[in-house]
Structure 1
């Protein structure tokens, strides 16, 4: 086969298309669409010289299209990136406007309206948004969850604004079902993920996956009809909801900044004028404001502030068994009148009283919820007794760090059956002050 003649007036731009070996797909850089090599060949059939097939001409000749090894997402980097010996097609695209210093009052007033003037929440939200704009390559380990009693208050406008600031091509809008799907190739090309009408579907595995998406810096990508692969995760999540309790979270959860807005809808003219301002010069002003915001105090991998709305979700999400344990713990009633507990003793005691039926898993989940400390070794709680017990500290944790002498544990531990008073029905009986410390009894089992 002879080399093709020069063809200076080819009816296609070879720099417009990129072949990605990882997926054996061709990306049209002008539209962002992908296709198979055969589809591109059919589209451009007839351009090749005699004695050359179209595919040979496009992929093997001097006039061939660009070639890379894989896709990746490199914010603020060129379209083709070579990194660690691999050539990538960068899925990140720059925004189409520039920062300009100006008045951002309408933007700040809208956020203040949505967050009911809560200064702590507003400060975190602005820091979170500024980090997303200033450092899109920095994965944040928190997400924003904004719910409201009323519909039509403009939560979605906040999302539209942020999508513009991040870049609409770097933003993914997902339904709750798409978010919890096993197929997640959207995650490999997103700086911002917006989920509207979010509500936990009750599938424990799906919620665990979503929480991993929020925190993990490396994730498994599972495309439809293609092989799995590992990729950097640079997606940050913004959730909107109308449900009163859209999410089940535990006491120890650090991922979500939760706010339930009390705002009421404004006239349609307010939202229309706000977006006209923003899509004009406003977005340039807000971009400058966020790009110049001081983030020296902000930790992108830190925990979200604990709001009262977060605590309300924690309480609403509790199973009856876990809720019962929390109420007993907060009241310092048996089996939590002592600073140390043994899981089996808690289970046996509560089940013998008959208020709720507990399992070992219930008690262990509760202890993790409250941040209890599992002592480093097992202890014989009664001298000369062969049984050893796993002991947890639920208060004064600093006292129980490291290697703790057995005598100290024996002196402090009180079996639930010997703790003051009977186990009360915490929903019906007023909580009384604790009585004097009783005598300890011989523990049964471990």
Structure 2
């Protein structure tokens, strides 16, 4: 039986098919083109044409390209103005969004499109119904030494997968002083489940808190390994906002910053104890994952073999699909809350230890020592030495500690110096005309007070 389809009709069919295949992979803006996988790099028309032709050769080898198909395809994608939005490169608004569960890579709004950075992980297209944790269950039993810690982290993971379009308000923080405990392997498990293409892994938090952070904040899973943060720093405050706030300021190089929705899940790891956390911190579930299988531990060989089996397990997409199904079917206890972490009722052992050495504890100790000595005025240099010597705390914390105690800072000259130095004044006290005043306190010259409490020469108040 002969095929009566004319060559021209066949070409039109091929053009329509190819345009639909590639129309949602490229966007345009200001006469430039952008690949959805590399939105930071503008492309010329020639670049785009070569890119699409190479993809056709690789992905549609049955298509016999000719001059008519080539010309007709790019006329449809670029030149012609029509309303078939699936078969032309759309105008990009410059916005990027992460919409888990939405398979559309382009989100249309008022005539232009936003780029959806989330894509369906390939293993979810395998149509596998079986559900099992497999070797991952064995790994987690050794990795998490505390049953309660293990259950909370797995519940967190299951909730995040079952509610992928939402964000939790706290993040697991995996800590171990020893190396080789499996933190990176655990992070790979998480990444495979959410999709490697939907995950960003970074060392520390520099990329997360830098100016151009759109790639990180438009990902679903953000993993920060070897996390170290200075207490009270802008980084610390920014990360708290990212963990809890669904709307944040996202900035892309060369474009205006925009306040956009983000649904990131965060996981942090470190070999250093997070002593920088504030007392009662509710944004991190700190879990000590040190165990005998660590590098140099009694069960190191056994654990190394287990880690190898985990990676081989994850190398098979079908295994990841079964693991995903098991977590999707996992019942979430009513007592579990992904939006609020109750550290008072259910603290982990390491979080209890951290509370004992928290900044608030240091503040209490500092206040007790200052009150015990009856000090109401103290030069900042003395406070720094006081904190370092008596409390074994970081001297960079001085300002935060004194602010917490509500002491006020003034600028003075003393000791024959011709430059001003900082001096702290206890709340309820003030300096006026070179004298210290306060309730039930006989006014005294600052010079005399400092000479009595710290050998110094004359003091001149800066007015």
TM category (shorter chain) comes to 0.5 to 0.7
What SS does the corresponding residue of 1:13 show, helix, strand or coil? Answer: helix
Pairing 1:40–2:48 present: yes
Deviates more, 1:105-114 or 1:63-72: 63-72
Using the TM superposition, give the Cα deviation of residue 13 of structure 1 relative to its aligned residue in structure 2, in angstroms: 2.9
Pairing 1:307–2:330 present: no
Return the alpha-carbon distance in structure 2 between the equivalents of residues 212 and 78 of structure 1.
28
* 1:12-32 deviation digits (Å, cap 9, x = unpaired): 932314454678764546xx3
In structure 2, do the counterparts of structure 1 residues 22 and 312 end up closer, same or farther at CA, with 3 Å as the change threshold? Answer: farther
Taking the TM superposition and a 5 Å limit, the aligned residue runs for 1:195-214 are: 195-200=224-229, 204-214=233-243
Q: TM-score with structure 2 length normalisation? A: 0.63
Using the TM superposition, give the Cα deviation of residue 220 of structure 1 relative to its aligned residue in structure 2, in angstroms: 0.8
Using the TM superposition, give the Cα deviation of residue 213 of structure 1 relative to its aligned residue in structure 2, in angstroms: 1.2
Q: TM-score with structure 1 length normalisation? A: 0.65
Pairing 1:135–2:163 present: yes
**Residue in 1 that maps onto 2:139:** 110
Return the alpha-carbon distance in structure 2 between the equivalents of residues 247 and 13 of structure 1.
56
Q: 1:170, 1:192 within 8 Å by CA — same for their partners in 2?
A: yes
**Residue in 1 that maps onto 2:78:** 58
Q: Return structure 1 stretches of 4+ with deviation > 6 angstroms.
A: 44-52, 54-57, 357-360
Return the alpha-carbon distance in structure 2 between the equivalents of residues 59 and 304 of structure 1.
58
**Residue in 2 that maps onto 1:273:** 309
Return the alpha-carbon distance in structure 2 between the equivalents of residues 111 and 57 of structure 1.
50
Return the alpha-carbon distance in structure 1 between the equivalents of residues 75 and 97 of structure 2.
25
Using the TM superposition, give the Cα deviation of residue 149 of structure 1 relative to its aligned residue in structure 2, in angstroms: 2.2
Return the alpha-carbon distance in structure 2 between the equivalents of residues 124 and 366 of structure 1.
36
Q: 1:143, 1:236 within 8 Å by CA — same for their partners in 2?
A: yes
User: How many pairs does the alignment contain?
Assistant: 353
Structure 1 unaligned regions, length at least 5: 337-344, 368-387, 390-413, 416-446
Return the alpha-carbon distance in structure 1 between the equivalents of residues 312 and 194 of structure 2.
18
In structure 2, do the counterparts of structure 1 residues 347 and 311 end up closer, same or farther at CA, with 3 Å as the change threshold? Answer: farther
* 1:169-222 deviation digits (Å, cap 9, x = unpaired): 111111223233222011342111111222226781122212211111101111
Using the TM superposition, give the Cα deviation of residue 135 of structure 1 relative to its aligned residue in structure 2, in angstroms: 0.8
What SS does the corresponding residue of 2:280 show, helix, strand or coil? Answer: coil
Pairing 1:261–2:289 present: yes
Q: 1:148, 1:261 within 8 Å by CA — same for their partners in 2?
A: yes
Pairing 1:228–2:257 present: yes
**Residue in 1 that maps onto 2:184:** 156
Return the alpha-carbon distance in structure 2 between the equivalents of residues 188 and 147 of structure 1.
23
Return the alpha-carbon distance in structure 2 between the equivalents of residues 88 and 73 of structure 1.
10
Using the TM superposition, give the Cα deviation of residue 65 of structure 1 relative to its aligned residue in structure 2, in angstroms: 2.2
- The structure with more strand, counted as a fraction of residues: 2
Taking the TM superposition and a 5 Å limit, the aligned residue runs for 1:283-298 are: 283-295=320-332, 296-298=334-336
Using the TM superposition, give the Cα deviation of residue 61 of structure 1 relative to its aligned residue in structure 2, in angstroms: 4.4
Structure 2 unaligned regions, length at least 5: 1-7, 54-65, 295-299, 388-396, 407-426, 429-438, 441-463
What SS does the corresponding residue of 1:89 show, helix, strand or coil? Answer: strand
**Residue in 2 that maps onto 1:97:** 123
Q: 2:129, 2:322 within 8 Å by CA — same for their partners in 1?
A: yes
